[in-house]
Amino acid sequence: MQVAYHWLKEYLDFSYTPAELAEKMTMAGLEVEGIEYLGEGINEIVIGEIVKIEEHQDADKLVICQVKIDDESELLQIVTGAPNVVEGERVPIAKVGTTLPGGMKIKKAKLRGVNSFGMMCSTDELGLSEERAHGIMLLGKEAPVGRKLTEYLGLDEYVLKLDLTPNYARCLGMLGVAREIKSLYTGGKVNYPEVNLEEDKNEAAVDEQAAIEIKADDLCPRYTGRLIKNIKVGPSPKWMQQRLRAAGIRPINNIVDITNYVLMEYNQPLHAFDYDKLNESKIIVRRAVAGEKIVTLDEKTRELTEEMLVIADAKEPVAVAGVMGGANSEVTDDTVNIFLESAYFNPVSIRKTARQLGLPSEASHRFERGVDIGMLKEASDRACQLMVKYADGELVPGIIDEYPGKQAKMVIKLDPARVNELLGLDLSTNKIAEMLASLDFEINKSGNLLEVAVPTFRGDVTQSADLVEEVARVYGYNNIPTTRPISKQLGSKNKKQKFEDLVHFLMRSAGLDQVITYSLQDKKIYQGLKLSQGHRLLEHVELKNPLSAAFGIMRTSLLPGIIDVLASNARRQIENMHVFEMGKIFFANQGQRPTEINMLSGGTFGAGEDLWQTDAPNFFFLKGALEMLFTRLQIPDVQFKAITDEPYFHPGRAAKIVYKGQYLGQIGELLPAIIDDKDLQSGTTVFELNLDKVRKFAPEVNYKYEKLPHFPAVSRDLAVVIKNNIPVADIFALIEDVAGELLKELQIFDIYQGDQIRSGFKSVAFKLKFQSPTKTLEDKEVNKVFKKIISQLSEKFSAEVRGN
Amino acid sequence: MDLLKTLENIEKDAEQELTELDELKELEELRVKYLGKKGEIQQVFNKMGKIEPEQRPVVGKSANILKQKIENLINENQQRLEKAKEKKRLVAEKIDVTLPGNKPKLGRAHPLKVIIDEITEIFTGMGFSIAEGPEVESEYYNFAALNIPEHHPARDLQDTLYLDDHYLLRTHTSPVQIHTMEEQDPPIRIIAPGKVYRSDELDASHSPIFHQIEGLVVDKDITFSDLKGTIKLIVEALFGENRKIRFRPSYFPFTEPSAEVDVSCIVCGGEGCSLCSRSGWLEIMGSGMVHPNVLRMSGYDPDIYSGFAFGVGWDRLALLKYGIDDIRVLYENDRRFLHQF
């Protein structure tokens, strides 16, 4: 909705500047998105008359014009190359010193030796058209010399662009806006257009010449029709065209323009039928028959459904009610007689029809939001008055007004005490009544309650809460005091949230940066993971109406997002990066609500220290972070078991993460082919954990003190040579098992493969620390355990002890 | 044989040698030289038999005195030398304290997390708890229960992404209001941060996936002025106490009265600039009193209970607070960006 400032002033007396008005409207709930001054940049342009044209002696294409810009001043000499100048024409003149919208400043100039004192302007130079114009803008011989161009063209106007929420349907017309400002700010009264209809007494009454039958009064509770004869289709008056343009509507001809003008005034869509094209001069408002067709004004054939409301004549549909007229009854240049519809249609019905046909329009927009059923006749009268005046029409006496859905005004019972309770105010009942009355509600007191009758233009008000908002609006939102509700509860995060915060903290402590990636992804991203058919990551949920393929599916893994983050950073010459993300993944669930799983995922490249000299620093960096995580979450003995079958992982550098036999997640170096595809750094490693499962295993953090040992510890080193394919974890498990309770610490401090070890074998060095809580250990006790460990290692793994 | 003379010479030599000494290890040599078993003092004692008996006590006494004196001298010089050695060591161990430290490599929280931590702290301090809800919602929770019937123009306010005829991606965090009211009895006091989805093309100010923070308070005697006070507090906590704040009528189907909340522009302070489209104000959240229809549908009697709700664009808060001019930056996760927070 666009509100032209000067136009609005015609209906209401106010003294606000356009900016003040915009502020008032915004604060009333009619948000003004912007103010446009239509004459922006051309306020100094005046209208001049070309009095005389002479040839330029030294240039074929130039002429010298003498231009009159007012009665007093001397004629201006202006040299121009424009091909269309004619003596006697009136044109826009930019005098010396004027700046044009494009930024050009007009200076005195000499063109091929002849002085020129200004410029005649074309429409594009004035910013009035986008395209380059062929010559000077010709204003016609009646344009007043000396007047400002903006005034003459109606461009001395400010347009306020409103972004109206659906509950402000009443403000989709100028009169509604005026009424709103009157009610909230200025008081006084709205100047409705004075309508004195001159009916043609020679004509038979309208109900003798036409008939209206409403067959679907649930969808059309009121329908009015008038007849205007002998109209002459032609251009509408200039002022009307200017106002329509200011409202953002393109002028067409007087009939269309008048219906649009009244639409903008009264917020009532009108439709003009060519009366002579209506079979049997009959209007039937009914539901369409399934499969019925109509060619609409845009010359497209539309198939209708039984849900749609049509306006039909005795034979066939002539309009899709409230949405678009039919070509068969269209007003053309040859139209002589007009049947004018002013009606109310069911908002939901209009909305469904407009959507199904893909035909949103100014009319359907308003019908969807509800027009004022009480104003149909007034709007019709106004249009008739204008058609008589500007289309030379003869008005047939009377109006057909079918109003089967007429209802008494809705009355809402309002408890003033509750109003105060809800707003935190202390207003008297009278004050509340007065405030509502200012908004044209009719008030009756009934005991402690107010009975509030809702005017027909307030379709948005259906219950007392709506009236509470009205009281707040009149009182002023910003005048309501500020308080805070007394808290009776202790606020806190729940266990899940605390757990997630802890995970977050631990990941950051491990040096991982948190990232957030899109949970909608491109299907193709999963192709890059080299998944085989049937892989579980392909069980994704697809969007029914995606914006684009890039956001076409819901992610089934955080890994693609993590990989993308690592890749885009690697491409920016970032040398090392460690990241994690916590977020949901989604799996299709056979038409049921998709499964949402909370995941923790992460990745790294450029980790520094190559702990085991296996050229896998990233793997062990991330693994270390996860081990620390599990330790701090008090989930001991989480196992990392080698896996070779995840298609996107290096088969020799990947593990699943298992606890008590349950799969928690996985970690792995990306397949070299993926690393190459994505320009990632070699060795880039990622992991993912099912956070919901991890949380199930994490006990509530509950620390318990264990007495510190008093007795000294005994350390022993042990280096064993074992087959390469034996996982160190197995050796670990065996040592721990054999050593029993005396073993307090077990660490690996070296792994060696090379010259001194035969191929296919590795040397692993452990440090064992023994300690007893009850005594100082003697060497022979430790030796006994140590020997047992050695013999078991030898037995189970054929391990040879080095340097023993 | 003048042993006294010898003692005098010894004394002179010892004094000179000891005071000129500058290495600690040489001190031991001197100790041996003078006080050792074959040392010079001992040699004097050894020669005692060869002198006059009456001289012996005199020489003996002098020798003992000298022995004591040299011992003292040695000890003094030992201390001197030890001090000098320690000093030398400290000088030698000087480091350049301006060299950079060994920084622990801590990871960073994403700016959205930084903001929500701050907000959570404020709200838990006011007795709020944190609620959550699914990102995939049914029509009922996303619309109908929030007083947005089918075929109502209010559905146009949000472009919805659908999964099928039953499920959609929540367009706002407001469905958490409904879940909470269904699961809990009043008093209710929650905030609900989370991801939301709209069918908006990705550009500098729109993203199909973004974040909101919902707030809901339901109890007896909750007023619009409570809403105002609560929001004022959070705005001041986030943007400073000098921030002006205004409430203006707006429309959300699930609140009535509804209010849009603006703060004075954080760049121009109200003068008007490009950030605030010359208005001097920035829209930061929608709010209102919970609509009676919503209360009723969730099983609460609107004549007894009342409440307020609000919804904030979480990303937008981050953009405003940190002066980020493009929402996409939040999801690009450039390391140089992440390390600014």
| pLDDT, tens only, A538-565 | 999 999 999 999 999 999 999 999 999 9
A400 sits in the region (left: phi over 0; alpha: psi -120 to 50; else beta) called beta
Number of domains within chain B: 2
Q: Which of A542, A406, A426 is nearest to A483 (CA)?
A: A426
Q: Which DSSP category does A520 fall into? A: E
Q: What is the mean pLDDT of residues A570-599?
A: 94
Instruction: Decide if A544 and B163 are in contact by the 8 Å CB cutoff.
Output: yes
Q: Is A502 on the interface with B (CB under 8 A)?
A: no
Q: Taking the alpha carbons of A271, A274, A279, A280 in that order, is the dihedral positive or negative?
A: positive
Same domain assignment for residues B152 and B189: yes
Q: Which of A237, A219, A337 is nearest to A278 (CA)?
A: A337
Q: 3-state SS of A627-683? A: HHHHHHCCCCCCEEEECCCCCCEEEEEEEEEEECCEEEEEEEEECHHHHHHCCCCCC
- Give span(s): CATH 2.40.50.140, chain A: 46-152
Rounded to a whole number of angstroms, the distance from the CA of A272 to the nearest CA of chain B is 26
A605, A618 contact by CB (below 8 A): yes
Q: Is A748 on the interface with B (CB under 8 A)?
A: no
Quote the pLDDT of residue A764: 93
- Give span(s): CATH 3.50.40.10, chain A: 206-402
Quote the pLDDT of residue B210: 97
**Listed range (A190-194, A311-315, B40-44) with the worst mean pLDDT:** B40-44
Residue A804 pLDDT > 70: no
Kindly report the backbone phi and psi dihedral angles of residue A510, in degrees, each rounded to the nearest multiple of 5, phi listed first. -80, -5
For residue A308, give both structure tokens. Answer: 């749609």
Element (H, E) at B19: helix B3-20
Instruction: Decide if B107 and A26 are in contact by the 8 Å CB cutoff.
Output: no
Angle at A500 between CA A494 and CA A505, to 5 degrees: 125
Instruction: Decide if A463 and B292 are in contact by the 8 Å CB cutoff.
Output: yes
Rounded to a whole number of angstroms, the distance from the CA of B325 to the nearest CA of chain A is 18
Same domain assignment for residues B56 and B205: no
Q: Which CATH class is domain A714-801?
A: alpha beta
Element (H, E) at A197: none
Q: Band of the pLDDT at B314, cuts 50, 70, 90? A: very high
What residues have CB less than 8 Å from A105, skipping those under 6 apart?
Answer: A97, A98, A99
Residue A522 pLDDT > 70: yes
Q: Is residue B55 part of a domain?
A: yes
Instruction: Decide if A511 and B232 are in contact by the 8 Å CB cutoff.
Output: no
Q: Residue B333 is nearest to which of A491, A511, A565, comparing CB atoms?
A: A565
Chain B residues touching A485 at Cβ < 8 A: 189, 217, 219, 221-222, 226, 230
Q: Band of the pLDDT at B148, cuts 50, 70, 90? A: very high
For residue A686, give both structure tokens. Answer: 């990622």
Chain B residues touching A591 at Cβ < 8 A: 164, 166
Q: Residue A509 is nearest to which of B106, B152, B202, comparing CB atoms?
A: B106
Q: Residue B229 is nearest to which of A482, A547, A596, comparing CB atoms?
A: A482
Rounded to a whole number of angstroms, the distance from the CA of A26 to the nearest CA of chain B is 7
Residue A3 pLDDT > 90: yes
As a whole number of angstroms, the distance between CA A636 and CA A228 comes to 90
**Listed range (A5-19, A330-344, B26-40, B311-325) with the worst mean pLDDT:** B26-40
β-pair type (A211-214, A282-287): parallel
As a whole number of angstroms, the distance between CA A68 and CA B59 comes to 141
As a whole number of angstroms, the distance between CA B88 and CA A110 comes to 90
Q: List strand residue ranges (DSSP E) for A169-234, in order.
A: 211-214, 222-229
Chain A residues touching B195 at Cβ < 8 A: 519, 583-584
- Number of C-alpha atoms within 13 angstroms, CB side, residue A16? 18
**Cis peptide before B257, with omega less than 30 degrees from 0?**
yes
Same domain assignment for residues B134 and B41: no
CATH superfamily of the domain spanning A46-152:
Nucleic acid-binding proteins (2.40.50.140)
A310, A319 contact by CB (below 8 A): yes
Q: Is residue B102 part of a domain?
A: no
Q: List strand residue ranges (DSSP E) for chain B, in order.
A: 129-130, 136-138, 167-169, 188-197, 209-219, 245-249, 255-264, 281-290, 306-313
Residue A348 pLDDT > 70: yes
Q: Band of the pLDDT at A743, cuts 50, 70, 90? A: very high
Rounded to a whole number of angstroms, the distance from the CA of B135 to the nearest CA of chain A is 8
Quote the pLDDT of residue B275: 83
Rounded to a whole number of angstroms, the distance from the CA of A417 to the nearest CA of chain B is 11
Average pLDDT for chain A:
93
More confident residue, A590 or A280: A280
Burial letters B11-49, b for 16+ CB under 10 A, else e? beebeebbeebeeeebbeebbebbbeeebbbeebeeeee
CATH superfamily of the domain spanning A206-402:
Phenylalanyl-trna Synthetase, Chain B, domain 3 (3.50.40.10)
Residue A369 pLDDT > 90: yes
Helix locations, B103-243, DSSP H:
111-125, 139-142, 175-183, 224-239
- Number of C-alpha atoms within 13 angstroms, CB side, residue B120? 18
Q: Fill in the amino acid letter for B108.
A: R
Rounded to a whole number of angstroms, the distance from the CA of B152 to the nearest CA of chain A is 7
Q: What is the pLDDT of residues A374-432, one digit of tens each?
A: 999 999 999 999 999 999 999 999 999 999 999 999 999 999 999 999 999 999 999 99
In chain A, whose CA is at the least distance from the CA of B218? Answer: A485
Same domain assignment for residues B116 and B84: no
Q: Which of B142, B133, B145, B206 is nearest to B172 (CA)?
A: B142
Instruction: Decide if A594 and B163 are in contact by the 8 Å CB cutoff.
Output: yes
- CATH number of the domain enclosing B142: 3.30.930.10
Residue in the structure block whose two tokens are 């065996």: A734
**Interface probe with A: pick from B225, B252, B260, B290, most Cβ of A within 10 Å:** B225
**Interface probe with A: pick from B224, B274, B310, most Cβ of A within 10 Å:** B224
Q: Residue B124 is nearest to which of A491, A504, A584, comparing CB atoms?
A: A491
- Number of C-alpha atoms within 13 angstroms, CB side, residue A642? 11
Instruction: Decide if A487 and B127 are in contact by the 8 Å CB cutoff.
Output: yes
As a whole number of angstroms, the distance between CA A32 and CA B281 comes to 12
Q: Is residue B315 part of a domain?
A: yes
Chain A residues touching B289 at Cβ < 8 A: 422, 465, 468
Rounded to a whole number of angstroms, the distance from the CA of A381 to the nearest CA of chain B is 29
> In a 3-state reduction of DSSP, which class is residue B279?
coil
Interface of A with B in 321-350 (CB under 8 A): 347-348
CATH superfamily of the domain spanning A495-697:
Bira Bifunctional Protein; Domain 2 (3.30.930.10)
A162, A3 contact by CB (below 8 A): yes
Residue A654 pLDDT > 90: yes
A452, A412 contact by CB (below 8 A): yes
A395, A388 contact by CB (below 8 A): yes
As a whole number of angstroms, the distance between CA B21 and CA B15 comes to 10
- Give span(s): CATH 3.30.56.10, chain A: 2-38+157-186, 411-477
Q: Residue B151 is nearest to which of A28, A351, A568, comparing CB atoms?
A: A351
Same domain assignment for residues B120 and B50: no
Quote the pLDDT of residue B238: 87
Q: What is the CATH number of domain A2-38+157-186?
A: 3.30.56.10
β-pair type (A338-344, A309-312): unpaired
Instruction: Decide if A488 and B187 are in contact by the 8 Å CB cutoff.
Output: yes
Quote the pLDDT of residue A792: 94
Same domain assignment for residues B186 and B247: yes
Q: Is residue B106 part of a domain?
A: no
Q: Is A20 on the interface with B (CB under 8 A)?
A: no
Q: Fill in the amino acid letter for B81.
A: L
Q: What is the mean pLDDT of residues A671-689?
A: 96
In chain B, whose CA is at the least distance from the CA of A20? Answer: B279
Residue B1 pLDDT > 70: no
Q: Which DSSP category does A775 fall into? A: S
**Cis peptide before B187, with omega less than 30 degrees from 0?**
yes
- Percent of chain A with pLDDT strictly greater than 90: 81
Q: Is residue B201 part of a domain?
A: yes
Q: How many CB atoms lie within 10 A of CB A530?
A: 15
Q: What is the pLDDT of residues A254-300, one digit of tens each?
A: 999 999 999 999 999 999 999 999 999 999 999 999 999 999 999 99
Chain A residues touching B260 at Cβ < 8 A: 31
Q: Taking the alpha carbons of A461, A465, A469, A472 in that order, is the dihedral positive or negative?
A: positive
Quote the pLDDT of residue B174: 97
> In a 3-state reduction of DSSP, which class is residue B213?
strand
Same domain assignment for residues B192 and B288: yes
Quote the pLDDT of residue B309: 98
Rounded to a whole number of angstroms, the distance from the CA of B62 to the nearest CA of chain A is 56
Instruction: Decide if B224 and A520 are in contact by the 8 Å CB cutoff.
Output: no
- Give span(s): CATH 3.30.930.10, chain A: 495-697
Instruction: Decide if B338 and A515 are in contact by the 8 Å CB cutoff.
Output: yes
As a whole number of angstroms, the distance between CA A255 and CA A341 comes to 13
Rounded to a whole number of angstroms, the distance from the CA of B20 to the nearest CA of chain A is 49
- Give span(s): CATH 3.30.70.380, chain A: 714-801
**Interface probe with B: pick from A413, A471, A544, most Cβ of B within 10 Å:** A544
Q: What is the pLDDT of residues A595-606, one digit of tens each?
A: 999 999 999 999
Q: Which of A789, A772, A774 is nearest to A714 (CA)?
A: A772
β-pair type (A553-554, A639-642): unpaired
Same domain assignment for residues B144 and B13: no
**Interface probe with B: pick from A27, A33, A160, A165, most Cβ of B within 10 Å:** A165
Same domain assignment for residues B67 and B145: no
Interface of A with B in 682-721 (CB under 8 A): none
Residues in chain A: 804
CATH number among 3.30.56.10, 3.30.565.10, 1.20.1200.10, 3.40.50.300, domain A411-477: 3.30.56.10
Residue A578 pLDDT > 80: yes
Angle at A173 between CA A170 and CA A177, to 5 degrees: 70
Same domain assignment for residues B62 and B119: no
Q: Which of A354, A371, A165 is nearest to A264 (CA)?
A: A371
Same domain assignment for residues B81 and B116: no
Structural domain that includes position B66 = 3-92
Rounded to a whole number of angstroms, the distance from the CA of A556 to the nearest CA of chain B is 14
Same domain assignment for residues B21 and B72: yes
> A612: buried, middle or exposed (CB in 10 Å: 19+, 13-18, 0-12)?
middle
Burial letters B131-145, b for 16+ CB under 10 A, else e? bbbbbbbbbebbbeb
Instruction: Decide if B195 and A580 are in contact by the 8 Å CB cutoff.
Output: no
Q: Which DSSP category does B47 fall into? A: G
Chain B residues touching A572 at Cβ < 8 A: 334-336
A660 sits in the region (left: phi over 0; alpha: psi -120 to 50; else beta) called left
For residue A498, give both structure tokens. Answer: 């605390």
Q: Residue B334 is nearest to which of A167, A509, A569, comparing CB atoms?
A: A569
Q: Which of B79, B51, B83, B59 is nearest to B8 (CA)?
A: B59
Q: Is A482 on the interface with B (CB under 8 A)?
A: yes
Chain A residues touching B333 at Cβ < 8 A: 513, 515-517, 565, 568-569, 579
Instruction: Decide if B136 and A465 are in contact by the 8 Å CB cutoff.
Output: no
Q: Is A522 on the interface with B (CB under 8 A)?
A: no
Helix locations, A283-428, DSSP H:
347-357, 362-369, 376-390, 416-423
Q: What is the pLDDT of residues B202-249, one digit of tens each?
A: 999 899 999 999 999 999 999 999 999 999 999 998 888 888 999 999
For residue B15, give both structure tokens. Answer: 């004094």
Q: Is residue B139 part of a domain?
A: yes
Instruction: Decide if A491 and B226 are in contact by the 8 Å CB cutoff.
Output: no
Q: Is residue B214 part of a domain?
A: yes
Q: What is the mean pLDDT of residues B87-98?
A: 93
β-pair type (A662-670, A800-801): unpaired
As a whole number of angstroms, the distance between CA A39 and CA A155 comes to 5
For residue A78, give both structure tokens. Answer: 């202006």
